[in-house]
Amino acid sequence: MSIPSIQSKSIAVIGLGYVGLPVAVAFAARGFDVLGFDIDRGRLAELNEGMDRTASVTSLELVQETLSFSADEEALCGRDVMIVAVPTPVDAAKRPDLTPFQKAAATAGRQIRPGAIVVFESTVFPGATEDVGVPILERESGLRLGVDFEVGYSPERINPGDTARDFSDITKIVSASSAQASETLASLYGAVVTAGIHKAPSIKVAEAAKVIENTQRDLNIALMNELAMLFHQMGIDTRDVIEGSQTKWNFLPFQPGLVGGHCIGVDPYYLTHKAHEIGFSPQVILAGRGTNEAMPAFVAGKIIQESVKLGLPMPPKVAVLGLTYKADVPDTRNSKVVDLIRELERFGAEVRVHDPLAIPHQVAEEYDLTLHDLEDISGAHAVILAVPHAQFLQGGNGWRTVAGVLKNGSGLVADLPAALERTAAPENITLWRL
């Protein structure tokens, strides 16, 4: 079979979220004919108007002549390369939910033409591309892998909110079902990724390489979280300990915190799912996940304890600053701040949350929570700086924002990311750090 050359410049990106949209924009900027496909027509309407709710790309990047958007599946027909970049979440039982992955594969399968390559970028367990994606592609297309078409896997590595490293600045791992397809993908991605290409020896290796990136981070943060729990019992500030330890060159300065989002808090479950499927018990990975899942309850308990010690009214009025899963992004998927709020409410606390980046209607639909303006959460007995958005810390004076929310400017401040300068804390405020 004939594999399309890079000069064909005919690419479709299926899924226009935090991953797919920057990929589509990057290829279009290099002169490739790019179709961005998504089933969310509201999302497409915004993109056609030059608006990206994820703040991943600029309005100018959305109006490139080589870039078009469609929700019409038939528009995918005839594309030489289809790149699938859809979410891979977990369900309520922490099991992989491959529904978006499977639906995207079916969509690609119905429109694939002989000679094309389908590339999956979604984070999955080793074997998912070949064991789940390929059968769907063959069933829907009536074509055969290795005879009529090829598949590839090139894991997404985009870090939302990172202004220093965009899609082109991160080394791209590529793999494919044949050596020829692998070379084609290396050339294709090499045209837009300046950081370099790493060719994995197999698709499963590439899948595994991606999923352990976030598993490793999850475990390192879990260790810091467990140490934070221990040090609080000892009356030691965890950040002071880390500051001392990192003076040695080989210490890795991971920080404690709430581990959520659609990557670090999810990907390890894909690996443990596959491990259980083949009869292996991944004790360390699951132990780390258990520690990180327990952090919202730990933090909520400590905040209530500190409130009691200070003699604050019970139950307290608590203001939460930040709801997204990380700083300076509008994404609230799998945010552990939501879990923290639920835990505080179990203690009877009256909780109000403010986040200037989160999308109100999405928060209401997904979590049944109302986002408030900053002035509407004032009069709190305790404030939790949950997410260190730049807007909260403007001018290096986050204390002004935090103190302005407290009743009479006094009370408890829980600084989870340790973003506030301790020495600048007002005298009538008690600071608690994770």
Q: Give 334-378 pLDDT, tens digit per residue.
A: 999 999 999 999 999 999 999 999 999 999 999 999 999 999 999
Number of helical H runs and strand E runs in the chain: 14, 13
Residues 165, 4, 151, 115: what is their CA dihedral angle, to the nearest 10 degrees?
Answer: 160
Quick check: 246 pLDDT over 90?
yes
Residue-level pLDDT at 159: 84
User: Catalytic residues, which ones?
Assistant: 263
Residues 58-63, mean pLDDT to the nearest whole number: 93
Mean pLDDT, all residues of the chain: 94
User: Which residues, 6+ apart, have CB-to-CB distance to 182 below 8 Å?
Assistant: 152, 174, 175, 176, 199
Q: What is the pLDDT of residue 397?
A: 75
Cα–Cα distance for residue pair 378/391, rounded to 1 Å: 17
Burial class from Cβ neighbours inside 10 Å (0-12, 13-18, 19+) for residue 387 reads buried
Q: Cβ–Cβ contacts within 10 Å for residue 147, how many?
A: 9
Identify the band that residue 7 occupies on the pLDDT scale cut at 50, 70 and 90. low
Sign of the CA dihedral with 395 first, then 257, 348, and 322 last = positive
pLDDT at 165: 86
Residues belonging to the chain: 434
Place of tokens 């698709």: 203
CA distance 13 to 172: 16
Structure-derived torsion over alpha carbons of residues 254, 258, 263, 266, reported in degrees to the nearest 10: 120
List, for residues 198-209, the tens digit of each pLDDT value: 999 999 999 999
Residue located via tokens 């609080």: 232
How many other CB atoms are found less than 10 A from the CB of residue 360? Answer: 12
pLDDT digits (tens, 9 = 90+) for 276-292: 999 999 999 999 999 99
Q: Answer yes or no: is pLDDT of 4 > 50.
A: no
Is the pLDDT confidence value at 1 over 70?
A: no
pLDDT of residue 48: 94
pLDDT(163) > 90: no
* Mean pLDDT along residues 224-231: 98
Contact yes or no for 158/170 (Cβ under 8 A):
yes
pLDDT grade for 3, boundaries at 50, 70 and 90: very low
pLDDT at 6: 64
For residues 411 and 380, is the Cβ–Cβ distance under 8 A? yes
**Which of 36-45, 143-152, 196-205, 395-404 shows the lowest per-residue confidence on average (mean pLDDT)?**
395-404
Q: Rounded mean pLDDT of 234-259?
A: 96
Q: Does residue 267 come out as left (phi exceeding 0), alpha (psi in the -120 to 50 range) or beta? A: alpha
pLDDT at 185 over 50: yes
Cα-flanking dihedrals φ and ψ of residue 174, to 5°? -130, 150
Q: 161: pLDDT confidence band, cut at 50, 70 and 90? A: confident
Pick from 384, 232, 242: nearest CA to 307: 384
Q: SS3 for 363-376, per residue?
A: HHHHHCCCECCHHH
36-45, 159-168, 324-333, 405-414: the lowest-pLDDT one: 159-168
Mean pLDDT within 157-179: 90
Mean pLDDT, rounded, for 306-333:
95
Check whether 156 has a pLDDT greater than 50.
yes
Provide the phi-psi class of 334: left if phi over 0, else alpha when psi is between -120 and 50, else beta: left
Q: What span, in angstroms and rounded, lies between the C-alpha atoms of 174 and 140?
A: 25
CA separation for the pair 363, 369 (Å, rounded): 6
pLDDT at residue 303 in the model: 97
Assign residue 132 a region (left: φ > 0; alpha: ψ between -120 and 50; beta: otherwise). alpha
Checking if the pLDDT of 27 tops 90, the result is yes
Residue 75 confidence class, pLDDT cut points 50, 70, 90: very high
Among the listed ranges 153-167, 355-369, 411-425, which one has the minimum average pLDDT value?
153-167
